[in-house]
A and B are shown apart, each in its own frame.
Chain A
Amino acid sequence: MKRAAQLVSLAALAGTIVPPALYFTGNLALDAAKWWMLVAAVAWFAATPAWMDR
């Protein structure tokens, strides 16, 4: 369970920084990048409390 939560957190961090990088290189629209960042934020705050700082 802890391992799965850590993987989700890692994916959430990637989801926070990769979409802006893709927008920078012209491979993703800004609105799509914003939505991915929101999904990543939700995933981060849902998964991370399960393993961090407990």
Chain B
Amino acid sequence: MADDTTARRAEPVDEFEREPVPERARLGFSSFVGQYAGEHTAGTELMIGPLFIASGVSAIDVVGGLFAGNLLAVLSWMFLTAPIAVRARLTLYFQLEKICGRTLVTAYNLANGVMFCFLAGAMVTVNATAAGLWFDIAMPGLNDVYPDSAGWVVTVLVMGALMTVVAAYGYRVVARIANIAAPWMVLVFVAYGIIGARQLGIDSVGEFWPKAQEFIWTGGEPLAGRAKFTFWHVMFFAWFCNMAMHIGMADLSVFRYARKSWYAAGTAAGMYLGHFIAWLSASILYAHQLHVTPDNTAVLPGPLAYNAAGIAGVLCVIVAGWTTANPTIYRAGLAFQAISPSSSRYRVTLLTGAVATVAGLFPAIAMKLLDFVALYGLVLMPMGAVVFVDFWLAGRFGFRSRYAEASGVSINWAAALAWVLTLAGCLAVVNMGGLQIYFVGLPGWFVAAFLYIVLSRLVQRKEVRS
């Protein structure tokens, strides 16, 4: 994922931060295929797949929902993000600064950094479930919120400290390991599914579908404390788990390097390897666990992987978790450092990693990863609508694009209010209206776009009149 999932791309962001990417630095299609395939086969995929089963989804709903949702995600990258990226060729942050002003971008960076910290925390949790296997520690359950054993606390603190120090001082080494490990990890994820299917008694391809409906995605009642998932839940989750990246426009920073906007079709490699095959494989492992020990509802990637693939499986969890936590902590550090540019990047990264480690102590973040990932996208999504409207529609609706750059204001209140009001409205609908968080992203994007148009005409009324 998660996404997430996000920041093996941190290094390119360090280049051409305040200028368009020049012709000589542009990349071909295969670069994006490799990047997205590796990036979306992360340790957290082993958390997400089982949570579909915990939500009582049926086989046709999960397969159809993932197929459709991932297709919509790819199309969002292709037709919303990449066309702006290859025309402006600027990072999201620089483009936002021109639209929103320096102060508002700082607030955006703060929100981004905090969400990255929690995401990295979930990755620390995943790795602790793998490392803890060697020491036979008590692991958290599906609905646990707080750490409940000293062994768990020590394991998370050790894993978090290691990841943090490496993110601060050895970023490039781990980034290289991530690239090297990617093809192997993808195959291990496929192997999880093959082995899990056999463990469930499926011994031919022809038997897979009927037995999948009977033993894996049975469509029964969800586990205690979980919402029932349908096709629509799965589709919207798959579409919007990377909402911050496509309709939220964070991947402007990636596709500014693409020679052509259609190169965003390369995201399909990540979606269909990571968010289709890896999630289904992880689901199969969890179904086997429930089949063998129905009372054991804990979603623990380490033991799940070990039961299927032994030490190589656990190694894959650790590598997948580490190689995605590393750049996530690094990018959170960069986001915070942008707020206080004079701070040492190493110190900021160490502090960020400490926050992520503390977050990792609480299993609730990882166990509620579906909701957290949706929230993460929702927080950043309105700014994507602002960028889209400002780039394509400002002239048509009679207001000036890149208003902060043109007027010199440090806060473009039209963008600020569109962001805050949309987010507040979406969260109110979720908390008071009872609508699941996966469903508010799409209408929220249109609300943010509408608010930005109306508020920009109000804020810029003098210019509009003239």
Mark A residues whose CB is within 8 Å of B.
Answer: 12-13, 16-17, 19-21, 23-26, 30-31, 33-35, 37-38, 40-41, 44-45, 48-49, 52-53
Contact partners of B195 in chain A: CB under 8 A: 20, 23-24, 30, 33
A-B contact count (CB 8 A): 70
Chain A: CB-nearest residue to B181: A45
* Stretch among B9-17, B310-318, B421-429 lining the A interface: B310-318
Contacts of A45 in B (CB 8 A): 180-181, 184
Report 28 cross-chain contacts, Cβ distance below 8 Å, ordered by A residue. A12-B184, A13-B183, A16-B188, A16-B191, A17-B194, A20-B191, A20-B194, A24-B194, A24-B198, A24-B203, A25-B203, A26-B203, A30-B198, A31-B310, A33-B195, A34-B313, A35-B310, A37-B188, A37-B312, A37-B313, A38-B312, A38-B315, A41-B315, A45-B184, A48-B184, A52-B180, A53-B179, A53-B180
- Give the B interface residue count (CB, 8 A): 23
Task: Given A37-B310, A37-B312, A44-B184, answer yes or no on A53-B203 (Cβ-Cβ < 8 Å).
Answer: no
Residues of B within 8 A of A25 (CB): 203
A49 to B18, CA, bound (A): 33
B interface, CB within 8 angstroms of A: 176, 179-181, 183-184, 187-188, 190-191, 194-195, 197-199, 203, 309-313, 315-316
Give which listed residue, A13, A31, A34, A35, contacts B187 with CB less than 8 A: A13
* A33 proximity list for chain B (CB < 8 A): 195
CA distance A49 to B86 in the complex (A): 32
Kindly provide the distance from the CB of B207 to the nearest chain A CB, expressed in whole angstroms: 11
> What residues of B have a CB within 8 angstroms of the CB of A48 in the complex?
180, 184
Contact in complex: B180, A34 (CB < 8 Å): no
Q: Is the interface of B mostly helix, strand, loop or mixed?
A: helix
Chain B residues lying within 8 Å of A44, measured Cβ to Cβ, are 184
Residues of A within 8 A of B310 (CB): 31, 34-35, 37-38
Taking the nearest CB of chain B, how far is it from the CB of A49, in angstroms?
6
- Asked if residues A37 and B191 are in contact (CB atoms below 8 Å), the reply is yes
Taking A16-B312, A37-B191, A40-B312 as given, write out 9 further A-B residue pairs in contact, using a Cβ cutoff of 8 Å, ordered by the A residue number: A20-B194, A24-B197, A30-B198, A31-B310, A34-B312, A41-B315, A45-B180, A48-B180, A53-B180
Q: Is the CB of B315 within 8 A of A17?
A: no
A13 / chain B contacts, CB cutoff of 8 Å: 183-184, 187
Instruction: Enumerate the 8 nearest inter-chain pairs by beta-carbon distance, A residue then B residue, closest first.
Output: A34-B310, A37-B312, A20-B191, A20-B194, A16-B187, A38-B312, A41-B312, A53-B179
Contacts of B187 in A (CB 8 A): 13, 16-17
B114 → A minimal CB distance (Å) = 32
Taking A17-B187, A38-B312, A41-B315 as contacts, is the C-beta distance between A23 and B194 under 8 angstroms? yes
Expressed in whole angstroms, the Cα–Cα distance for A34 and B316 within the complex equals 13
Q: A34-B312, A37-B191, A38-B311 are in contact. Are A52 and B179 (CB under 8 A)?
A: yes
Pairwise interchain contact B203-A41, C-beta atoms closer than 8 A: no
Cα distance, A17 to B316, chains bound together (Å) = 14
Contacts of A21 on B, CB cut-off 8 Å? 194
Residues of B within 8 A of A26 (CB): 203
B316 / chain A contacts, CB cutoff of 8 Å: 41
In the bound complex, residues from chain A placing their C-beta under 8 Å from that of B180 are 45, 48-49, 52-53
- A36–B203 CA distance with the chains assembled, in angstroms: 20
* Residue from B187, B190, B198 with most neighbouring chain A CB atoms (10 Å): B187
